[in-house]
Structure formats: structure tokens, C-alpha cells
Amino acid sequence: MKTHRFLLTVILLLILAGTSYPAAKKPPVPDNKARNIYALFTEANPGLAPASVKKYAEYVIEAAGKFKQDSYVIAAIIVHESTVNNKAVSKGGDYGLMQVRWKIHEKAIKQRFPKVRKASDMFDARTNIMFGTEIFADCMKKVNNDVPKGLMRYSAGSTKLRDKVMATVKELRAKDNATKVAPTQKQKNKKGK
């Protein structure tokens, strides 16, 4: 009987211990780049659903990290190539957000993304951004990471696109500089010592 009570007490204590919930984790606060890209996409395509804007910004940051590229450059390419329209198709056969040319890249796309079988599959935002960023990274390697020259290769020589992208990147970097937190008085005092 004592063993039975003891087990019931232990079970009760375990049940009660299980009812105390840990504090809810706060979602991570997006960094300035993510916020700036989100704002850029929203401004370029105001009709886009906020959830889509968030996903696209996340994909840009993911792809830029994977291929070691500037996320602002990738975001600016998207804005000026497709106006952040995932279903954009050019007369020349460029598809999606980064306007990937299906006819030129079909074989490579199918190798890297086995689920992609036809041009319209490039409307998948993540696939499009990943592959478009990979193409841009390859262009950058060929020009020793010179961004204006890399943009020229990516856009088949469009100075108009290069100039628009560079201007947008400059604006985004200016926003970064404007939002940097001023040093606290304690930090100022440490510097003065």
C-alpha cells in the first residue's frame, strides 16, 4: 500500500511538474538587411501579400549566404528584373523573380533541382532565387567579384539594369548606416579612457 501511494505521489508530482510551461520564445527580430529587403519588395510590388514578401526576403538572405553574395544586390536584381512578380515571363523566355533564362539554363536547372521539369516550374520562388543567385555568383567569379561587371554579365550587357541595381544597393546601404545605433554614454566613456 505504501509503495502504491509513493508511486501515485511521484506520478502526481510529475504531472504537476509538467504543467509548468517554459516561457514562450520570442521570434527572432529580423536584422536590418531583412527589414530593408522586406520594405524594398513591398514598395516595388505593393499588391504582394506580406507572407510572400517575407518568404522572398528569407530566400534572398538564404541564397546570398549560400553563394556568398550581397543580399542587397540579389534583392535589387529581383526588383529591377521582375518587379517582385513571381509569375513574370519576358519575351525572351526569362522566368520568375530573377528572370532566369530557361532555354540557356534548362539542363543545369534540372540537374540541381530534380523536381523542376518545365519552364513554369521556375515560378517556385525559392528555386528561382537559389538558381538565379547561383548564376549571378558564377558571373561574379568570372569578373573577380566586381559587382558592376557581374551585373553586366548577368543581364547580358544591360547598363540600364546595372545602374538601377547599383543605385538601389546604394540606397539600401544608406538605410543601414542611418539605422545604426548611436553608442551609449557608457560606450563613449570607455572610448575616452
CATH number at residue 63: 1.10.530.10
- Residue 171 belongs to what domain range? 32-175
- Considering its fold, how many domains does the chain have in total? 1
- pLDDT confidence of residue 110: 82
Instruction: State how far the Cα of 47 lies from the Cα of 53, in Å rounded to an integer.
Output: 10
Enclosing H/E stretch for 101 = strand 100-101
Backbone angles phi, psi at 100, to 5 degrees: -75, 130
Domain annotation covers residue 84:
yes
Domain annotation covers residue 79:
yes
pLDDT at 124 over 50: yes
Instruction: State how far the Cα of 145 lies from the Cα of 77, in Å rounded to an integer.
Output: 16
With a pLDDT cut of 70, the percent of the chain lying above it is: 77
Start-to-end CA distance of the chain, whole Å, equals 72
Q: Mean pLDDT of all residues in the chain?
A: 83
Domain annotation covers residue 180:
no
Instruction: State how far the Cα of 2 lies from the Cα of 16, in Å rounded to an integer.
Output: 21
Model confidence pLDDT, tens digit, residues 161-186:
999 999 999 999 998 887 665 455 55
- CB contact set of 148 (below 8 Å; sequence gap of 6+): 162, 166
Domain annotation covers residue 18:
no
DSSP state of 99: T
Model confidence pLDDT, tens digit, residues 40-77:
999 999 999 999 999 999 999 999 999 999 999 999 99
More confident residue, 117 or 150: 150
pTM above 0.85, yes or no: no
In this prediction, residue 14 has a pLDDT band, given cuts at 50, 70 and 90, of very low
pLDDT at 141 over 60: yes
Helices first, then strands: H and E counts in the chain: 9, 2
- pLDDT confidence of residue 22: 41
Distance of CA 187 to the CA centre of its chain: 33
Domain annotation covers residue 183:
no
The 3-state DSSP class for residue 114 equals coil
- pLDDT confidence of residue 1: 56
